[in-house]
């Protein structure tokens, strides 16, 4: 198996529309305002690609060249896996919207994106299925059986030979939807694929609006990637070599100048705010990374990709990126090459079993360190502002005991492992969790109503307290499986937002105060109502199960309409890594409305986020506190949520 590239949008960056600003994601295609990185909706890791609006809007993803830069590949056969979450879908019969496409060699230079295209087609008012077409004309396959719905992360895989009689297949969640042979090639271009497009290439109904998120993409040249997740490991200590020194404004000159990209929700790198630098040829700078277990990485490792952001100071200066594997005497580097200009651009070093000669394991990855090297004989300055590593892995074969306190992707593995202990338990729970929204709500209500209820239900499928903890942790905190995604939507009590903004319920989940007890804080009183209605506000947004017909709302075309509600008191939790504020919101009317939500400890702001130009459809939001932010909470009996609606 040869992995060509992986992308989980973990650098939180997209290249410019022309591709001149190099990033992991090569460039935007079509309407640039229709694509962006989201950090509050994602399947795994720190970010996902959001595609919204009408008309074209996509990103182009390529491979990696020998210099470590993003570059076109040339594959006669390609296998791609991506995950997609539909927030809205084509609503009228016969409406169609593309979600993925392949570009033949030469198409990007020609400014076109009319290669093989996968789209969502509305066959009736409630049925939306996949369809495969030649972007340059003609439907190839329409036999998809999966009815796509909102609120579920789907794993979609596609195989395509770039030929007039090319073999193709499309899978959803590992099951073949359609396959065969056909004319997949536009004869005006070379018979190889050069890049993939994620989003809409605008070849179908340009007036059709659709809102979706993409995550965890893997490109392979020989076989299906299969299930997986892509997580970023960040610097947590100095590495084997630390030749580079502190830059201006950097007091330490160590790994802390290179870990800004770890701030979930931040822009990703702080450029010249903190950095390390050198002017000396062969100087190397390495960092040690977070352990795999600390980020929930387990099971089969498919590939890993080192990255570093470096820029020249005044003259073009060659540098390379590589990896120390094992110790400082064993390393591999890309070919040295100059930066394009004096901006921070990333280089990548992709390694797999193929190019390192041995199977990748979490044990090995824990010894690997990214390293950058000055490679210019003249004394010329280089600055490095961020480093890290992305890992593509499949945790489905790992044990639950090793993944109890993991992030979203590992929660999925824990649930699967635990539910598969008995066929009876597995069949029953899976049926309940996938049968209906009502069924999911009842399961959650049972599991969270009391410790006794949790023990009773969970012991049917797990015979140890550790097993109970694993399931509770996974179901309460994970966001990646279809079951959990929908469960979270049910627990995400709603802000219903407006041209006028509406807000229907909120809940705050605050860690684990004991092994199996999750705590939930709900609104219990109004601190201030401002111009929001209907009072009392808290009584409209305090339900355990969200009710979208019961909500509060701002004035029409609001001007910083503000209200504040107090949450019920809870015990200060020992675990400060699982604090989440969840909500639902939308607007009424066509005017642009911004919605800001803030979490306060009395009068101290803990965290806030702003959603710009919010949708007229319900949107689930979540604010996840870092451990440091959670530690600033001093009084769990005085937590408050403030809502601000504004017409920009």
The confidence band for 484, taking pLDDT boundaries of 50, 70 and 90, is very low
Q: Which fold has domain 231-395?
A: Jelly Rolls (2.60.120)
| 8 Å CB contact between 629 and 647 | no
CB 183 within 8 A of CB 46: no
Which has more pLDDT, 69 or 342? 69
192-201 pLDDT per residue, tens: 999 999 999 8
What's the CATH number for 3-227? 2.60.120.200
Q: Per-residue DSSP letters for 439-463?
A: HHHHHHHHHHH-HHHHHHHHTTT--
482: Cβ contacts below 8 Å, ≥ 6 apart: 152, 153, 434
Arithmetic mean of pLDDT, 450-462: 30
Segments of the chain assigned to CATH 2.60.120.200: 3-227
- Secondary structure (H, E, C), 103-129: EECCHHHHCCCCCEEEEEEECCCCCEE
* Residue 540: pLDDT over 90: no
Of 541 and 354, which is predicted with more confidence? 541
Of 240-249, 265-274, 417-426, 553-562, give the lowest mean pLDDT range.
Answer: 417-426
Q: Kindly state the average pLDDT of the residues 61-80.
A: 94
Three-state DSSP at 520 gives strand
52's tokens: 């919204």
Whether 420 shows a pLDDT value over 60: the answer reads no
Higher pLDDT, 433 or 618: 618
The residue that leads in pLDDT, 204 or 421, is 204
pLDDT tier, 500 (very low <50, low <70, confident <90, very high otherwise): very low
Domain with CATH 2.60.120.260 in the chain: 231-395
Element housing 82 (H / E) = strand 77-86
Distance of CA 272 to the CA centre of its chain: 26
Tally of CB atoms within 10 A around 247: 20
Query: What does pTM read for this prediction?
Result: 0.64
DSSP string, 311-348: EESSS--EEEEEEE-SSTTSEEEPPPEE-SSSS-EEEE
Fold of the 492-646 domain = Jelly Rolls (2.60.120)
pLDDT tens-digit profile of 345-382?
A: 899 999 887 666 668 899 989 999 999 999 999 999 99
Q: What is the pLDDT of residues 200-254, one digit of tens each?
A: 988 887 788 889 999 999 999 999 999 999 999 999 999 999 999 988 766 678 8
Is residue 427's pLDDT more than 60? no
Average pLDDT, the chain: 78
């Amino acid at each position: 198996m040869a992995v060509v590239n992986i992308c989980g949008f973990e650098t939180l960056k997209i290249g410019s529309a022309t591709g001149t600003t190099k990033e992991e994601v090569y460039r935007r295609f079509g309407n640039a305002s229709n694509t962006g990185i989201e950090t509050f909706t994602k399947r795994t890791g720190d970010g996902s690609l959001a595609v919204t609006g009408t008309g074209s809007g996509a990103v182009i993803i390529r491979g990696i060249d020998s210099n470590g830069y993003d570059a076109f590949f040339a594959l006669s056969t390609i296998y791609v896996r991506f995950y997609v979450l539909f927030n809205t879908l084509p609503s009228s019969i016969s409406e169609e919207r593309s979600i993925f496409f392949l570009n033949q060699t030469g198409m990007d230079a020609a400014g076109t994106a009319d290669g093989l295209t996968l789209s969502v087609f509305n066959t009736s008012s409630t049925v939306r299925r996949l369809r495969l077409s030649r972007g340059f004309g003609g439907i190839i396959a329409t036999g998809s059986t999966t009815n796509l719905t909102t609120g579920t992360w789907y794993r979609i895989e596609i195989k395509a030979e770039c030929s007039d009689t090319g073999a193709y297949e499309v899978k959803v969640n590992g099951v073949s939807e359609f396959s065969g042979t056909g004319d997949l090639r536009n004869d005006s271009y070379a018979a190889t694929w050069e890049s993939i497009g994620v989003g809409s290439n605008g070849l179908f109904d340009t007036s059709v609006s659709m809102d979706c998120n993409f995550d965890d993409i893997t490109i392979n040249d020989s076989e299906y990637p299969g299930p997986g997740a892509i997580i970023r490991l960040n610097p947590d200590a100095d590495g084997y070599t630390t030749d580079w020194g502190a830059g201006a404004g950097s007091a330490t000159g160590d790994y802390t100048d290179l870990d800004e990209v770890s701030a979930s929700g931040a822009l990703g790198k702080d450029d010249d705010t903190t950095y390390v630098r050198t002017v000396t040829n062969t100087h190397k700078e390495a960092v040690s990374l977070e352990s795999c277990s600390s980020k929930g990485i387990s099971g089969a490792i498919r590939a890993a990709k080192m990255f570093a952001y470096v820029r020249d100071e005044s003259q073009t200066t060659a540098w390379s990126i590589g990896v120390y594997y094992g110790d400082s005497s064993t390393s591999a580097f890309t070919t040295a090459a100059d930066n394009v200009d004096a901006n921070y651009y990333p280089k990548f070093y992709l390694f797999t079993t193929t190019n390192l000669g041995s199977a990748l394991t979490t044990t090995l990855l824990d010894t690997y360190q990214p390293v950058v090297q000055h490679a210019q004989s003249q004394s010329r300055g280089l600055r490095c502002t961020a480093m890290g590593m992305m890992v593509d892995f499949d945790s489905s074969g790992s044990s639950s005991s090793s993944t109890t306190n993991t992030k979203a992707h590992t929660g999925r593995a824990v649930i699967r492992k635990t539910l598969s202990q008995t066929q009876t338990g597995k069949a029953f729970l899976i049926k309940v969790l996938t049968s209906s929204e009502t069924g999911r709500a009842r399961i959650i209500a049972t599991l969270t109503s009391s410790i006794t209820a949790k023990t009773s239900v969970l012991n049917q499928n797990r015979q140890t307290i550790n097993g109970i903890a694993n399931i509770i942790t996974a179901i309460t905190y994970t966001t990646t499986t279809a079951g959990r995604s929908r469960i979270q939507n049910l627990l995400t009590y709603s802000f219903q937002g407006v041209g006028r903004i509406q807000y229907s319920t909120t809940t705050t989940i605050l860690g684990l105060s004991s092994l199996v007890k999750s705590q939930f804080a709900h609104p219990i009183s109004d601190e201030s109502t401002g111009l929001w209605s209907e009072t009392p506000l808290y009584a409209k947004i305090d339900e355990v199960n969200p009710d979208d017909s019961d909500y509060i709302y701002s004035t029409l075309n609001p001007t910083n309409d503000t209200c504040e509600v107090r949450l019920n008191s809870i015990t200060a939790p020992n675990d400060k890594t699982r604090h989440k504020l969840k909500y639902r919101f939308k607007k009424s009317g066509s005017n642009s409305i911004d919605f800001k939500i803030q979490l306060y400890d009395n009068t101290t702001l803990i965290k806030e986020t702003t959603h710009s130009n919010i949708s007229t459809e319900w949107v689930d939001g979540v604010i996840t506190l870092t451990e440091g932010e959670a530690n600033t909470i001093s009084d769990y009996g005085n937590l408050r949520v403030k809502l601000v609606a504004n017409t920009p």
